[in-house]
Structure 1
Amino acid sequence: MEISDDPVAMATAAPMAPVTAQRPVRTDLESSIPKPYMARAMAAPDMEHPDGAPEHKAHGMSVLQQHVAFFDQNNDGIVYPWETYTGFRDIGFGILFSLLAGLVINLAFSYPTLPSYIPSLLLPIYIANIHKCKHPSDSGTYDTEGRYSLVNFENMFSKYGKTAPDKLTLRELWNMTEGNRVTLDILGWVAGKLEWGALYIIAKDDEGFLSKEAMRGLFDGSLFDNLAKKNASIKDKKKI
Structure 2
Amino acid sequence: MRAQRPSLAAAGNPVLALLFLWVLSWGHVTAEIDIANMTALQKHVSFFDRNKDGIITPSETIEGIVAIGCDYAFARDFAAPVHAGLGPKTSPKDAPLPHLSIYIKNIYKGMHGSDTGALDAKGRFVPAKFEEIFSKHAKNRPDALTSLEVKEMILANRDPDDPQSWAAPIQEWGLIYGLASDKNGYFHKDSVRGIYDGSVFVKLEEERASSQSTVCRSLSFRSTV
TM-score scaled by length of structure 1? 0.71
Amino acid of the structure 1 residue aligned with 2:102 = I
* Unaligned runs of at least 5 residues, structure 1: 1-57
Amino acid of the structure 1 residue aligned with 2:97 = S
Cα RMSD (Å) of the superposition? Answer: 1.7
- 1:199 counterpart = 2:169: no
Distance 1:109 1:64 in 2: 13
Partner of 2:220: none
Query: CA offset at residue 184 of structure 1?
Result: 3.1
Give the count of matched residue pairs: 179
- 1:172 counterpart = 2:149: yes
Amino acid of the structure 2 residue aligned with 1:125 = I
* Residue identity (%): 39
Partner of 2:53: 76
**Pairing 1:61-140 to 2, within 5 Å after superposition:** 61-116=38-93, 120-121=97-98, 123-140=100-117
Amino acid of the structure 1 residue aligned with 2:205 = A
Alignment equivalent of 1:211, drawn from 183, 188, 210: 188
Regions of 4+ moved over 2 Å: 117-122, 233-236
Contact 2:91 2:99 in 1 (8 A): no
Query: CA offset at residue 120 of structure 1?
Result: 2.4
Query: CA offset at residue 122 of structure 1?
Result: 5.5
Query: CA offset at residue 217 of structure 1?
Result: 0.6
Contact 1:111 1:119 in 2 (8 A): no
Distance 2:114 2:211 in 1: 36
1:106-143 Cα shifts (integer Å, max 9, x gaps): 11101110111877226110000001111110000110
Partner of 2:11: none
* Unaligned runs of at least 5 residues, structure 2: 1-34, 214-225
Contact 1:137 1:182 in 2 (8 A): yes
Partner of 2:163: 186
Distance 1:233 1:188 in 2: 36
Amino acid of the structure 2 residue aligned with 1:104 = P
